[in-house]
Structure 1
Amino acid sequence: MNPITELLDATLWINGIPILWREIIGNLFGLACAWGGMRRLVWAWPVGIVGNALLFTVFMGGLFNTPQDLDLYGQAGRQVMFIIVSCYGWYQWSAARRGATSDEAVAVMPRWASNRERAGLVIAAVVGTITCAWIFQSLGSWGPWADAWIFVGSVLATYGMARGWTEFWLIWIAVDIVGVPLLLVAGYYPSAVLYLVYGVFVSWGFFVWMRVQKKEQSKTAKAKQPVLIS
């Protein structure tokens, strides 16, 4: 057995339940990405990409012979989309970071999406979920509607993070609400537990970005105030 195969097949047994180490490690990379995103650090994107690659092999269980032996096309497909969107986010934040002053450590300034941008998110969420549910159901995905929303919501949240929209944290919460029950029933216990952790974490991240946003708005308002000369 070569090292790559050994890594893919490494299994942790808990009360007779097999859990792949790559599922645990992939989710930990995802959690690290979320923490870096909250701190608005560029390295969050490549770290997330590594986790996405690992989790793709987990959710294509029938293809990679996982203990669950289930193909969750939405969960697997969103890992591919994560990688694509993360490359965009990595480029966006890197470009912004290069254009920032040398003493700034962050790559994006949080802001609310405009009404037009919010409308685009809602339309994409509805149309995307219906379309993906039909596709996943045709492919034989397990739990196609929940899988579809998790897929679409995750892509929208990642895109929102790349654009610096504070709303992306709220989209993640909506994804977690659907994701936890789906993964528990499907037997992906580490991912379900990490989704619970994500739920707490993204709630915290939302308030962190809100605080940063209000602080910057206050600075901008003060800078625009006229200076009175007595």
Structure 2
Amino acid sequence: MSTSAPPEENISPYEDDSAQRSAARIALLKNAFEPSAKTLMNDLQRESGETWSLEKTAVHGILDSYVEYRDQAKRLMHPKDEANSKPLMYYRIDRHKIAAAFLLAILRHRPLRPPTGHNFRFMLQQYANEILAFKTAIRVLAIYAQHDARKQQQIQLAVPIYPNSNGVAYVEHAYRALRHANHHMPEKLTLPIVAHWMFYIEKFWHVGKLSKSLHASVTEPEASLALQDILQSFNEE
């Protein structure tokens, strides 16, 4: 497994590294989106007996929309003025905005498609694309967290830890909230809001990591996936 440094430490932020950024973007799609989609489609097959498909044109749309949301984040973080007039490609954004951009792009294109004549009997079917969007975003955070842990020679938890939510799994609330917001008030589901949400999820994860009462495995998380792809072309922005 490669242990090379992330691109932000290898290249000048003022060089034209668009090819490397594109490679990193595809690596994140491969290592965060694709495993989440594969696992979810297997779960759908097992729970409902239905074979769902991943629409390829929607996947291409996700990459395009990700770039749109990414640039939106850069404009928010780096407004242009006379002293700050470099092209957007020279600026980077943090992991929470990267995760949020993927989440929103997936919600926009809804790449998981049910078979003809399907019947929504289970939550997994009703919220399939919301689940995919959330899980992909969490995997993005996990990839970055695992990388940080390796640099600091720390152990990273195998699974994210979520707040206690009165008997209902936190992620179920998350899926319902995403679906409601996306269908009824999409204008409220903005990148800064989702990025803040991702930030607090990861902060809770890090706080939880320190609790001795947790009974979580400390083996390398599946969410880290094949890190050599990420470490070769890592920090997208």
TM range (shorter): under 0.3
- Structure of higher CA gyration radius: 1
TM-score, normalised via structure 2 length: 0.26
> If each structure's helix is expressed as a fraction of its own residues, which one has the higher value?
1
TM-score, normalised via structure 1 length: 0.26
